[in-house]
Chains A and B, each alone.
Chain A
């Protein structure tokens, strides 16, 4: 049960600045997810919290105590890696008990049994305790590796992409399971991933990291619904947000560079300066097909992809491609004319120069 404060930490590797004044905090028991593309500085941030790396500037506080330069073993944090190194010659039970038998965290055997029972029950591996790692499936090994961190009672759990290497189906199943496990954990947790679904599912608050900078640190609902920058919008959504460059005219209409979109001026005027280069961001799930001759964009169907209970229809208008999520009942094929309805609520405007959201 601890708090964590990261205050303007910076870190360079040679000429590459990996972290640029990164700040965020975690309240007692809070689950924070750090999300970003590869190379964003996620793991470096986590390593600084663990004490495996030291920042060049800034401070890290655990429970108000400055631990910036404290060696890892004195910080009382537990880390779970993507790469689950289990001891192959040890049964699951002994793998789980291992951290509790180390000189630093030694507890008595009775307590060890109790904790193994609790954690293995939580992870659904209670029937596998006498097996060797090679007798386990990939997902089961992942659970044991999680369990090895969870048997400890550290101040903070650190997770470094624990399920990223699993294939999509297993990863989704493990994410749903982690969500259940998380409900019975009370420790403060920092979790790193590049998968936005893990971030939205598991987090209380999300840190979006991009090229070593925090683009947004907010409640997960706000991250999705009110992205602070283009990169945040792009990261959160599948298929990702579409971007169109253009200008707003004096009446508040958005005109894209190839004249594919002209939006109604409702509510835009005043909020966004005229004649400024802007980028319009739209999520495929927020736009819809309009009936013939209606909507703001007219185009031709470029491709149709089935997505189980709906379809992803790509429409070519002028030089732009629009992705629209449509009901399964819609019957369109390549080459058909189509019209797209863009509700004003679906529009995000970003500055072309800074990529930050406007108003």
Chain B
């Protein structure tokens, strides 16, 4: 398959604002890249520009190193994977897969070679003589994929292919897509608004909002180091706890004071923090920042008089039992924070507890630019 390169691509539909504002990214050969964002963020427009279904206002799109800006979708040889899901019922699986090759004037032997090779890679050799009606859903999906693959497309484009799949089987459908992509080594660009689906499938995720790429990164990078407040709030379930604070750096201490009555703060001893971190945060001392901590990282513990780094008194508001885990909602200074816990916890509603936010699990964002402060 081929590498796809998008360089400074704009799309304007005639409004004052561009629908896509200077998108640049690369999808390597054999990579699965997901375009993720809320509705109206420009992800589908971007995909349609790659397909050739939409013209581009400015910029360059390259497939396999070749500029395709002015090529038709056919000339680009891209495949919309699940558009072709409908199989021809009167044809066997073999003939369904061979169908797109008929227009290529290949010899019978060449067609046979190509069909058997793609069938082998998707483990459907056994069902080649069968008819579509006798197949299970997953097999049909594989046959339709084989039919798309057999003509050796440059890239696969998928636009929310699982949005109509029932929630309880969606994880298996995702496993199938992942498996097929890994075994066929296809280049895939996939569009979704569902962050769970995006991180499940992607080698890299491209997060978009308001026509602008917010971050490009692996699922782990997005989760641990979101580039800005939008990504921090969009990725993760439950969402990241985001707390406006005032940062103060003083002799031997970092304090992050909640904006409420100014009494509640996370304090850390500077002695244990690397010099690099201190240097990066120096310029923010005395300024307003937003701190972010994942509910999975915020610990809940019995109330105690002895303070440790990053500990704070809190009140347990409610706790949800959710089977394999639980979620506690705690209140600190009129701010509600969430902690992911074990299924049950030894505290009751209204109890005084303490929460602990380890410094290494904090993200600190510039309140004005909303960007994460690198440290």
Residues of A that sit less than 8 Å from B by CB: 168-169, 172-173, 175-176, 179-180, 182-183, 196-197, 200-201, 220-221, 224, 234, 236-240, 283, 285, 302-309, 312, 314, 321, 323, 328, 333-335
7 extra interface residue pairs, beta carbon distance < 8 Å, beyond A173-B239, A309-B223: A179-B318, A180-B318, A224-B321, A237-B324, A303-B176, A308-B219, A308-B296
Interface string of B328-369 (1 = CB under 8 A from A): 010000000010000110000100000000000000000000
Closest partner residue, chain A, to B319 (CB atom): A179
CA distance A334 to B196 in the complex (A): 20
CA distance A95 to B178 in the complex (A): 49
Tell me the minimal C-beta distance from A255 to chain B in angstroms: 25
Closest partner residue, chain B, to A237 (CB atom): B323
Q: Which residues of B169-198 are within 8 A (CB) of A?
A: 171-172, 174-176, 178-179, 182-183, 194-196
Residues of chain B within 8 A (CB-CB) of A182 are 318
23 contacts between A and B (CB under 8 A): A169-B195, A172-B238, A176-B329, A176-B338, A182-B318, A197-B322, A201-B322, A221-B321, A224-B323, A237-B324, A238-B168, A240-B168, A302-B175, A303-B176, A303-B179, A305-B200, A307-B196, A308-B219, A308-B237, A312-B175, A312-B200, A314-B175, A334-B179
Q: Are A328 and B201 in contact (CB under 8 A)?
A: no
Q: Which residues of B15-72 are within 8 A (CB) of A?
A: none
CA distance A201 to B326 in the complex (A): 9
Residues of chain A within 8 A (CB-CB) of B239 are 169, 173
Residues of chain A within 8 A (CB-CB) of B194 are 168
Closest partner residue, chain A, to B297 (CB atom): A309
Q: Which residues of B308-330 are within 8 A (CB) of A?
A: 317-318, 320-324, 327, 329
Q: Are A305 and B238 in contact (CB under 8 A)?
A: no
Across the A-B interface, how many residue pairs have beta carbons closer than 8 Å? 105
Residues of chain B within 8 A (CB-CB) of A303 are 174-176, 178-179, 182
Residues of chain A within 8 A (CB-CB) of B235 are 308
CA distance A228 to B202 in the complex (A): 37
Q: Are B321 and A220 in contact (CB under 8 A)?
A: yes
Q: Are A308 and B236 in contact (CB under 8 A)?
A: yes
Q: Are A306 and B182 in contact (CB under 8 A)?
A: no
Residues of chain A within 8 A (CB-CB) of B140 are none
Given contacts A239-B171, A309-B223, A309-B294, A172 and B237 within 8 Å (CB-CB)? yes
Residues of chain A within 8 A (CB-CB) of B175 are 302-303, 305, 312, 314, 321, 323
Q: B220 within 8 Å of A by Cβ?
A: yes
Partner of B322, one of A169, A200, A306, A323: A200
Given contacts A201-B321, A236-B323, A303-B182, A176 and B200 within 8 Å (CB-CB)? no
Q: Are B321 and A176 in contact (CB under 8 A)?
A: no
Q: B155 within 8 Å of A by Cβ?
A: no
Q: B231 within 8 Å of A by Cβ?
A: no
CA distance A221 to B327 in the complex (A): 15
Which of B182, B194, B324 is most buried by chain A, counting CB atoms within 10 A of its CB? Answer: B324
Which of A237, A238, A308 is most buried by chain B, counting CB atoms within 10 A of its CB? Answer: A308
CA distance A315 to B139 in the complex (A): 18
Partner of B321, one of A200, A237, A314: A200
Interface string of B219-237 (1 = CB under 8 A from A): 1100100000000000111
Partner of A200, one of B195, B294, B317, B320: B320
Q: Are A305 and B178 in contact (CB under 8 A)?
A: yes
Q: Are B174 and A305 in contact (CB under 8 A)?
A: yes
Q: Are B219 and A306 in contact (CB under 8 A)?
A: yes
Residues of chain A within 8 A (CB-CB) of B167 are 238
